[in-house]
Structure 1
């Protein structure tokens, strides 16, 4: 079993908030393909990273999770590229972990 996590920013690199419809669209696409989704949207998570030795960048994000039996790497690669464009990001994180259900 695989757990996919998609980290979606609340705003673009210029600070413009994304409309709620964009998040609903992603939710619906993943629910249609995988039959369910978990979203962490109540309070945005904070992402911090060093852009340079003197600059720290931050993002407010929501996290979408999907579980699937198989790892369809080509589909996820295309989906991540599409989300990167739709959410106007330089890099958009989609990560996967192999998990065991207990």
Structure 2
């Protein structure tokens, strides 16, 4: 019987496909995030061909819509301080109030 692989964390980011002016971000900006995460974590997947469509209600009660590119990274350790700083970097780079980053414990099979 083989030993179970160690637990790991799946980190998911949702990057905006367009700026506040409605123009698509250059593909190179999304590729740069994937490359940065790959260099740090040994790999990353950006789902650039299947953008996610989102909708939410703003504080004024109006429904806002946008499209985002999901990016995933698997890591053996979750460094919350590093992720908070990287989220701030992405928010500035993509001119966003918030870039969604979430983490889940996963089991590798």
TM-score of the pair, normalised by structure 1: 0.93
Post-superposition Cα deviations, 1:12-66, rounded to whole Å, max 9, x if no partner, equal 1221221111111101100100111122121211011011464100111110000
TM-fit CA distance, 1:70: 0.3
Correspondence 1:45-84 to 2 at 5 A: 45-52=52-59, 54-84=61-91
Correspondence 1:23-102 to 2 at 5 A: 23-52=30-59, 54-102=61-109
CA RMSD of aligned residues (A): 1.2
Give the count of matched residue pairs.
102
Cα distance in 2 for partners of 1:42, 1:20 equals 11
Unaligned ranges ≥5, structure 1: none
Unaligned ranges ≥5, structure 2: 1-7
* Higher Cα Rg, which structure: 2
Report runs of 4+ in structure 1 exceeding 6 Å deviation: none
Cα distance in 1 for partners of 2:106, 2:42 equals 18
3-state DSSP of counterpart to 1:84:
helix
- Name the structure with the higher strand share: 1
